[in-house]
Amino acid sequence: MRLNITITAASPAWALLLDQIGIPWEVLGSSRTDPRNSAVWIVSRENCAEHQEVLQQYLTNGGAAMMEADTAKELFGIPVQRRYLQYIYAEADAIFGNIPVSDIQRLCLVPAEAAHLSRQNGKSVIAVSAIGKGRILILPSGFTAALLDYGIRRVNFPPANGERFPSERVARIGKQGIRRVVQMGLKHLFHYRGLPFVHLSPFPRAETSLFAFRIDTDFGSEKNIEKLYQLCREYKIPASWFVETRSAENRLSQYADMADQEIAYHCYRHRIFPGYERNKIDFQTGLALLQQNGIAPNGYAAPYGEWHPALGELIEEFGFQYSSEFSLGFDDLPFYPYVNGQFSKVLQIPIHPISVGRLRWARFSEAQMIAYYLNRLTEKVNANEPAIFYHHPGQQRWTVFESLFREVQEQGLPAISLGEYAEWWRKRQAFSWLAHLNKDKIEIEYGAFGKEIAAIADYPDGRSQLALLNSKYPFAKECITIAPMQLPRPYSPKRLRRYNKQMLVHDLTWHYGKSKQ
């Protein structure tokens, strides 16, 4: 039995999702073997009626499939209702466990008999239905296409003190929530069939997590830059410094002289323009200054975390290998954005978007700031996702980050730069493989064994194992046992997503501050 996905018609959103999750997939009709031997099908709306007969046979004989509500209605007459999904969440759900509040912001069709995952009024939006001996899991219509939304809005984040919410302007769609729902839904379907859910680890080698630290140097003084640099060196943190060049034009050698750090590009003038030409001039000016100091950056992060398709084209044109903008995605796994009809060559690396400046606006004490970051670190490790935070040297708060670095060190989390992570993720993206279940053993088929690539096998009995893909039967050897994805319980969804006076003030202040730069 092949432990892969067959999709009836590829779409940019599904390709992005499945590559993030790291599971082998192929389009129906392109497979070398009978698609009825695939573990799970994903059924797209496009030309779905053409595949109805073979799909019906596959499901009747015990297969499993995932599809959206409009497709389920067309193929199987599943009743649907039109509902607005402001956000979704799950708490102790039988399939999804806990899903923190994730914004969807669109009108969808949902199955009338939905019993899983809740929207803002507590009503369910996902259904599981039997077709013969098989099973289908039905998502809301347009659920995966929401990944291609580029809108921005201010969002509250769960506090550490239980009172005031820190907020930031980020991607208006909770893309990490969509990925988590799809990943856990696929795992459920694999387990329904008695099969292990095998997918690539999001971490290099046989690591079970990682830590990365991004620094946006906006107007940082020479003294503050040096202080943070020494702190990173003391705790062996290979930080990624995104340099704002205008205010540091006469002392860029400070960055060139840094050891064991990555120097990347932020901006010349600290703002993003709506069009192409003015941004291009900014890139040319700032990069020329870095090059004069012997710095050739591979990474880019836009001021204010902004991103739009024209900027995406420019980032690719200038040859950057990766960028990091939380208005495109945050708290998620890396991905390649889909820009103007094709996937970008520039990897996007999401981070946690809350800085100490945002915590200060929410009136957090230093002790509460420390608690906030340590809580987020624990959540990311438990979710089997990278923990990537960021800071501005001008905001200081050295004790906060010394506490965070110390915790990273005590937990033994590998610390790498964003550039190193991007380089490894490209290898993961290019890794061609296929998993089979052969007499109860997981057999891996690929051209060359992966020295830095590992896979996770989630078994129907609840066990999860991590194995480096360096042999034909990697899970037959002694493996690392890991805890399955554990997401935090949703925090007061209605409170969290209520636009309040504090958010209005922050939005007005943001627009005013941006206009002055």
What is the reported pLDDT for 153? 94
% of residues, the chain, pLDDT over 90: 82
Local confidence pLDDT in tens for the 517 residues of the chain: 899 999 999 899 999 999 999 999 999 876 655 666 889 999 998 888 888 988 999 999 999 999 999 999 999 999 999 999 999 999 999 999 999 999 999 999 999 999 999 999 999 999 999 999 999 999 999 999 999 999 999 999 998 765 789 999 999 999 999 999 999 999 999 999 999 999 999 999 989 999 999 999 999 999 999 999 999 999 999 999 999 999 999 999 999 999 999 999 999 999 998 888 999 999 999 999 999 999 999 999 999 999 999 999 999 999 999 999 999 999 999 999 998 899 999 999 999 999 999 999 999 999 999 999 999 999 999 999 999 999 999 999 999 999 999 999 999 999 999 999 999 999 999 999 999 999 889 999 887 666 799 999 999 999 999 999 988 999 988 889 999 889 998 888 988 898 877 778 777 877 766 666 6
Pairing verdict, β 454-458 and 464-468 = antiparallel
Can you tell me the distance from the alpha carbon of 409 to that of 259, in angstroms, rounded to the nearest whole number? 19
Q: Are 192 and 135 spatial neighbours (Cβ–Cβ below 8 Å)?
A: yes
Residue 327 tokens, joined? 């208005």
Evaluate whether 184 touches 97 at the Cβ level (below 8 Å): yes
DSSP element (H, E) containing 294: none
332 vs 338: CA distance, rounded Å: 16
pLDDT on residue 182? 98
Q: Do domains 2-149+160-195 and 211-424 have the same CATH topology?
A: no
DSSP conformational letter for 286: H
What is the pLDDT, as a whole number, of residue 159? 85
SS3 86: strand
Name the phi and psi angles at 442, rounded to 5.
-85, 115
Work out the end-to-end distance of the chain between its first and last CA atoms, rounded to an integer number of angstroms.
59
CA 144-12-324 angle, 5° bins: 85
All structural domains of the chain with their residue ranges? 2-149+160-195, 211-424, 431-481
pLDDT at position 317 = 96
- The encoded tokens of residue 310 equal 């024209």
SS3 433: strand
| H/E run at residue 113 | none
How many helices (H) and strands (E) in the chain? Answer: 14, 26
Nearest to 53 by CA among 33, 68, 35, 75: 75
Max CA separation in the chain (angstroms): 72
Distance CA 131, CA 61 (A): 9
- Give me the CATH topology for the region 2-149+160-195: Rossmann fold (3.40.50)
Name the token pair of 288: 């020329």
d(CA 465, CA 206): 11
Q: Amino acid letter at 421?
A: Y
* The two three-digit tokens of residue 444, written as one number: 């891996």
CA distance 199 to 25: 11
| Token couple for 154 | 């201010």
Rounded Cα gap, residues 450 and 252, in angstroms: 39
Distance in angstroms (rounded) separating the CA atoms of residues 278 and 290: 19
pLDDT, residue 34, reads 66
Crossing angle of helices 398-411/366-382, nearest 10°? 30
Q: Give the total residue count for the chain.
A: 517
- Please give the pLDDT value at position 35: 63
- The amino acid occupying position 178 is I
**Are the C-beta atoms of 184 and 95 separated by less than 8 Å?**
yes
pLDDT at 434: 92
Instruction: Specify whether the CB–CB gap between 395 and 355 falls below 8 A.
Output: yes
Residue type, 470: N
The CATH number corresponding to 211-424 among 3.30.360.10, 3.30.70.60, 3.40.50.12240, 3.20.20.370 equals: 3.20.20.370
**Residues 206, 210: Cα–Cα separation, whole Å:** 11
